[in-house]
Amino acid sequence: MLLSSSSPSPLSPPRESAPTLMSGAGLLAARGERAHRRQGPLTRRLWALWRQVQGYLFLLPALLIFALFVWYPVLLGFVMSFQSVDLINPATWVGWTNYRHVLADPLFAIAWRNTLAFTGYALLFGYVVPLVLALAINEMRHGKSYFRLAFYLPVMLPPIVTVFLWRWMYDPDAGLLNALLSLVHLPGRLWLEDPQTALPALVVVATWSAAGSTMLVYLAALQGVPASLYEAAEIDGAGFWRRLWHVTLPCIRPIMLLMLVLQIIATMQVFIEPFTITGGGPQHATLSVLLLIYTYAFQNADFGEASALSVMLFLVLAAFALVYMRMTSRLLQGD
């Protein structure tokens, strides 16, 4: 039975011929099918079975791909974290050794601290900027679409382009930033060579390339604020700030919370900026967890330790993802 609606008639002709238009012939054929269905229960059961098989044929590509390239590797990751894997010799069982090694690695604490610092800075720069931009752009009566385009443009750049471009702009001698600073007679800095500024410098790159898409989400949310609410607040004598605080922000609060969680999940996976711009240096100041995983696997050829650290990252991210799922389901129910 494949009829998706709950139509009471038992008309579900399992014919495999080309569909005809709603014609007399078609109706006749359908009637013929009904007669056919009155045949014994065995035939009916066979048809039902054929329907199930047919349906699963539609699911087959996705089931195969998901099984082979998501469900299996996720499980394999847990298994590998208890194994010694170097892709040359067969894997051997080593128990908790990988975890013990990873926890004993002095870089472990550094990588987590840097990743958390990156997430913190990213929220500091990257959470307020898109919100303020969206609030301002939404008020504009002129050039709205120009602003939207201009601030979204960096999102379209491939990440490799962004990081190469910024690495050059951060260059202490030939870079744009120090040139601009010297224009206003300020001393230049060794942005990427100084452990103090290297991490914030990377956060600026990440924010520059991601703020546009968050801004778009906020803009859409702001357009969804009903005009009647503003008008009602106005009639009640609420001024600009009170309208902002009591109308605008409460209306977009669910989206703001979602963006917060999404941003945390995204920035904890920071990789490409430290990988290409600083290589994790100077003095491991920009080494992120994912970069450490990469180093374990592709420089030390220790896929077991890399998997153990991946499992830890997975647990942290899964906790945030659970929060996110709960929030979205509440949001969708609220619709």
Residues 191-230 that bind another protein (CB under 8 A): 208, 212-214, 216-217, 220, 222-223, 225-227, 230
- Interaction residues for another protein, span 70-99 (CB under 8 A): 70-74, 76-77, 80, 85, 87
In whole angstroms, give the CA distance from residue 281 to residue 147.
Answer: 36
Residue 124 binding another protein, by CB under 8 A = no
Residue 303 binding another protein, by CB under 8 A = yes
Look-up: residue for tokens 């520059």? 208
In whole angstroms, give the CA distance from residue 158 to residue 162.
Answer: 7
Residue 22 binding another protein, by CB under 8 A = yes
User: Which range, of 36-44, 93-101, 112-120, 144-152, touches another protein by CB under 8 A?
Assistant: 144-152
Q: At its nearest, how many Å lie between another protein and the CB of residue 333?
A: 13
Closest CB to another protein among residues 96, 146: 146
In whole angstroms, give the CA distance from residue 312 to residue 318.
Answer: 10
Task: Look at residues 229, 265, 269, 231 and name the one whose alpha carbon lies nearest to residue 247.
Answer: 229
Q: Write the burial class of residue 16 (CB in 10 Å: 0-12 exposed, 13-18 middle, 19+ buried).
A: exposed
- Interaction residues for another protein, span 26-65 (CB under 8 A): 26-27, 29-30, 33, 51-52, 54-56, 58-59, 61-63, 65
Instruction: Give me the count of residues in the chain.
Output: 335
Q: For another protein, which residue of 122, 134, 148, 292 counts as binding (CB under 8 A)?
A: 148
Cβ-proximal residues to 88 (8 Å cutoff; 6+ apart), any chain: 301
In whole angstroms, give the CA distance from residue 252 to residue 108.
Answer: 38
Residues 94-123, one symbol each (x = binds another protein by CB under 8 A, - = not), give ------------------------------
In whole angstroms, give the CA distance from residue 291 to residue 288.
Answer: 5
Residue 232 binding another protein, by CB under 8 A = no
Residues 173-192, one symbol each (x = binds another protein by CB under 8 A, - = not), give xxxx-xx--x----------
Closest CB to another protein among residues 103, 140: 140
- Interaction residues for another protein, span 247-276 (CB under 8 A): 247-248, 255, 258-259, 262, 265, 269, 271-272, 276
Which tokens sit at 138?
Answer: 């939404």
In whole angstroms, give the CA distance from residue 207 to residue 190.
Answer: 20
Task: Look at residues 180, 331, 188 and name the one whose alpha carbon lies nearest to residue 261.
Answer: 331
Q: For another protein, which residue of 109, 124, 157, 232 counts as binding (CB under 8 A)?
A: 157
